[in-house]
Structure 1
Amino acid sequence: MDIKQLKFLIALDETRHFGQAAARCHITQPTLSMRLRNLEEELDLPLVNRGQRFEGFTAPGERVLAWARTVLAAYDGLQAEAAACRGHLVGTLRLGVVPLSNFDPLPLLQRLHSIHPNMRFELSSLSSEQILDQLASNRLDLGVSYLERLDSDRFDSLELAETRMGLLYDHRHYSFGDEPLSWESLTELPLGMLTNGMHFRQSIDHNFHSRGLELQPLIQTDAVHQLLQAVHGGFCCAIMPLDGGLESLTEHLRLQPIEHAQTLARLGLIMRRSAPRSALAEACFGLYQKMIQTP
């Protein structure tokens, strides 16, 4: 067994296609199939359900896949740790961020890249539950998620600024003056919303219901980009983070503050406490701590 076999297994899981997995790993499909069969023979377990095409993993294959991810993360962490001991940081920092966060990762990543030009970055949009799960299983290095019910024995965190809300609209279709909008006035507008279950949506629902107001969205989606497209087309307006920079995406978008509008919980930058902990995560966490402490 070697690291490459585990990489092949993970690539197959991520692409769900033998040919695409082989292309991602820069090998031929017969080579990929042969190496995976060698792994099955060594473990004496069937890992992959094969037909004319990929049909998923067997139950033992799913368990081996979870171990493969852990082993590969540890291998990458070892390489990064060795580089850190030599005074350099290399490898890929894996950062998960909840949808519609007011956290802009770009300044932090730019600072890191300027200091450590061999670093690479992988950003994922995930739910709070997914972020904590993947931090715990070492599939993420850092997460930006809500701090409510965070287990401080398992995770370190840096609290971020309060998330305020505003109304995102296309000024070619709507105009609202200069004053903050009331929640009552929003009930008269065609609103686009993220689907139920997302934390940001829960905060919106709470602000309406706590005022005895009924929310009837014109459109609901679980994809932020579709919501932005609907706003840009003038089909609806959308409640978004006020400090998320969304209004700068095009010259036509505007963000109008909403009075007394905050999310139910604060966001935080989160890193797991248990070893092995990524040297990349520690460097990023420490740099951001300095950035928010500097006036």
Structure 2
Amino acid sequence: MDIKQLKFLTALDEARHFGRAASLCHITQPTLSMRLRSLEQELGLSLVNRGQRFEGFTPEGERILAWARTLLAAHDGLQAEASACRGQLVGTLRLGVVPLCGFDPMRLISIFTAKYPHLRFQLFALSSEQILERLSSNQLELGLSYLTTLDRTHFTSLELAETRMGLLYDDRYFTFETTELGWEALVRLPLGLLSSGMHFRQSIDHGFRSRGLAVSPLLETDAVHILLQSVLAGLFCAVIPLNSGLESHHQHLRLVTIEDAQTLAPLGLILRRTAPRSALGEACFAEVQALLGMSQIP
């Protein structure tokens, strides 16, 4: 068994397709299949359900996959620790971010690159639940998510911001004569919102319900770029965080504050508490922690 076989196994889990997994690993599909079969023979277990195409992992495969992620995280941590001992920090930091995040993740990337110029980054748009799940399985180093009912025995966090809300609109199609809108005004507007069940949407629904109002959005989506496209087409207005930076994407986009509107929980940077955890994640988390202590997050 070698580390590459474990990488091939986790790549298959990520891609859910033999060809795409091989492409991720920069090898041919026959090579991927051969190396996975070799791993199965060595372990004496069938790990993958095979048919005309990838059909998922066997129960034994799911258990081995969890160990593979842990071993790969430990391997990456070892490499990062060795680099840190040499006065460097290198590797790829995987950051999970909730959609319509009220704290621009590029601010974090700027902080990390200024301190560790050799880092690379992978950003994933995920739900709060997915972020915690991937942190637990060492598929992420850090998460940028809401701190609702966070299990403090397994995760540590830094509160970054209270997420306030505003209405995003295109000034070619809508005009507002005020700098702040009440919730009653929103009910009369064509709205595009994140899908029901997402944390930011739950906070919006709570804002309406707590005032005895009901909202019927004309568009619901889990994709932020679709919200942007619909606003720029003049079809809808969208409720978004005030500090998301989305209004800067086009000269005609405007953002007006919604009165007394914020998410149900603050936003924070989350790190897995239990070992093994990434040296990259620990170092970047500590950097943000130090800046928060000095109130210097740009």
TM range (shorter): over 0.9
For structure 2, the residue ranges without an aligned partner over 5 or more in a row are none
Greater CA deviation, 209-218 or 131-140? Answer: 131-140
Offset, 1:249: 0.8
Matching residue of 2:132: 132
Percent identity, please.
67
Distance in 2, matches of 1:264 and 1:19, equals: 42
Offset, 1:58: 1.9
Residue identity matched to 1:294:
S
Matching residue of 1:235: 235
Offset, 1:4: 0.6
Matching residue of 1:173: 173
Alpha-carbon RMSD across the aligned residues, in angstroms, is 1.5
Query: Is structure 2 residue 78 aligned with structure 1 residue 83?
Result: no
Offset, 1:242: 0.8
Secondary structure of the residue that 1:121 maps to in structure 2? strand
Query: Is structure 2 residue 168 aligned with structure 1 residue 191?
Result: no
Greater CA deviation, 80-89 or 269-278? Answer: 269-278
Instruction: Provide, for residues 102-161 of structure 1, a one-character-per-residue CA deviation record: whole Å limited to 9, x for no partner.
Output: 111212212322332221111111111121222222221111122221122322211112
Distance in 1, matches of 2:97 and 2:26, equals: 30
Distance in 2, matches of 1:151 and 1:16, equals: 30
Matching residue of 1:73: 73
Matching residue of 2:182: 182
Equivalent residues in 2 for 1:212-231, closer than 5 Å = 212-231=212-231
Distance in 2, matches of 1:199 and 1:23, equals: 34
Residue identity matched to 1:145:
S
TM-score (norm 2): 0.94
Offset, 1:31: 1.6
Greater CA deviation, 276-285 or 188-197? Answer: 276-285
TM-score (norm 1): 0.95
Instruction: Provide, for residues 211-255 of structure 1, a one-character-per-residue CA deviation record: whole Å limited to 9, x for no partner.
Output: 111111111112221111111111100110011111001111111
Distance in 1, matches of 2:103 and 2:179, equals: 25
Runs of 4+ in structure 1 off by over 4 angstroms are none
Distance in 2, matches of 1:276 and 1:9, equals: 20
For structure 1, the residue ranges without an aligned partner over 5 or more in a row are none
Query: Is structure 2 residue 295 aligned with structure 1 residue 294?
Result: yes
Query: Is structure 2 residue 61 aligned with structure 1 residue 57?
Result: no
Distance in 2, matches of 1:23 and 1:229, equals: 31
Residue identity matched to 1:105:
P
Residue identity matched to 1:146:
Y
Residue identity matched to 2:280:
L
Tell me the matched-pair count.
Answer: 295
Matching residue of 2:256: 256
Matching residue of 2:26: 26
